[in-house]
Amino acid sequence: MSADATRRVRLLYFAWVREKIGLASEDVELPGGIATVEALVEWLKQRGPQYDDAFARPQVVRAALDKVHVKPSAALGSAREIAFFPPVTGG
Amino acid sequence: MAVRVQREDFDVTAETEKLVGGRRDIGAVVTFTGRVRGEDDGRAVATLTLEHYPDMTEAEMARIEAEALARWPLQASLVVHRVGELHAGDNIVLVITASAHREAAFEAAGFLMDYLKTRAPFWKKETTPDGASTWVEARAEDDSAADRWR
């Protein structure tokens, strides 16, 4: 796949990340050059003030690729579902 | 060995009996029940709404349970976590661990709770009696509690 090719992924948002963005999920065409979770966050922040607000403290927002916790530096690889959420507070 | 996410309440006695009833190889059963407190940091709490990430929740809870099984000789275990709107005094989470001897059952129950609190994708929103709601913030103490198992 060339670096220019786009790829369709599903983004999921939970808790206050969902409330700030105003969406629970969306399908986006991801530009080929976006290779890591942190690059995706930077790309999302350009999409509108609600994203900028949700990711204002990017180190606070956690991510999962295909339902597995990952660090911001993680490669997106071939993940189909990418989730963003605050630190968990269950139990 | 089972994990469950559900809206409805659970019955600790019935769940325990279902898990270990009739077993003759289990000498120790530890049950932990987490409940909704009526106040948090001095704020009155009327309701607690639990949101989760369906599918990932069960997958992550199963990974946590598998890690407990790799560390301790458990004969049986169960984790039940509720979601939806709960009220002060309601049950939130149930952990049952069963082993031949008490040490493994006690330690595994503590481990399961510490890891659930820091890894399982649940989020709590508190609503006060006057209707104001805020998302509960993660606590650094929960991270350090989980770190002690590393």
Residue in A14, A89, A90 closest to B81 by CB? A90
Residue matched to tokens 């590393």: B150
Residue in A12, A68, A88 closest to B138 by CB? A88
Residue A4 confidence (pLDDT): 63
> What values do phi and psi take at A83, rounded to 5?
-115, 145
Residue A5 confidence (pLDDT): 82
Query: Any chain B CB within 8 A of the CB of A15?
Result: yes
CB contact under 8 A, B138 and A86: yes
Residue B42 confidence (pLDDT): 87
Query: Any chain A CB within 8 A of the CB of B5?
Result: no
Residue B34 confidence (pLDDT): 97
Query: Any chain A CB within 8 A of the CB of B15?
Result: no
CA distance B80 to chain A (A): 10
CB contact under 8 A, A91 and B53: no
The CB-side HSE value for B110 (13 A sphere, CA atoms) comes to: 12
Residue in B93, B119, B125 closest to A88 by CB? B119
CA distance B24 to chain A (A): 30
d(C-alpha B80, C-alpha A60), whole Å: 28
Residue pairs spanning A and B at CB distance below 8 A: 70
Residue in A15, A68, A91 closest to B51 by CB? A15
Per-chain mean pLDDT for chain A: 94
Distances, alpha carbon A72 to alpha carbons A4, A65, B16, B91, B139, in Å: 22, 11, 40, 34, 21
d(C-alpha A76, C-alpha A33), whole Å: 11
Mean per-residue pLDDT, A10-22: 98
DSSP strands (E only) in chain B: 2-6, 28-35, 39-40, 43-44, 47-52, 74-82, 84-87, 91-99, 122-127, 133-135
pLDDT per position as a tens digit, A28-48: 999 989 999 999 999 999 999
Residue B115 confidence (pLDDT): 95
| R_g of chain B computed on alpha carbons | 16
The pTM of this model reads 0.93
- Tens place of pLDDT for every residue, chain B, 150 residues? 799 999 999 999 999 999 999 999 999 999 999 999 999 888 899 999 999 999 999 999 999 999 999 999 999 999 999 999 999 999 999 999 999 999 999 999 999 999 999 999 999 999 999 999 999 999 888 888 888 888
pLDDT per position as a tens digit, B71-107: 999 999 999 999 999 999 999 999 999 999 999 999 9
Residue of A nearest to B53 (CA): A14
Give the other-Cβ count within 10 Å of B9's Cβ.
Answer: 11
* Touching B: A residues 20-49, CB under 8 Å: none
Query: Any chain B CB within 8 A of the CB of A89?
Result: yes
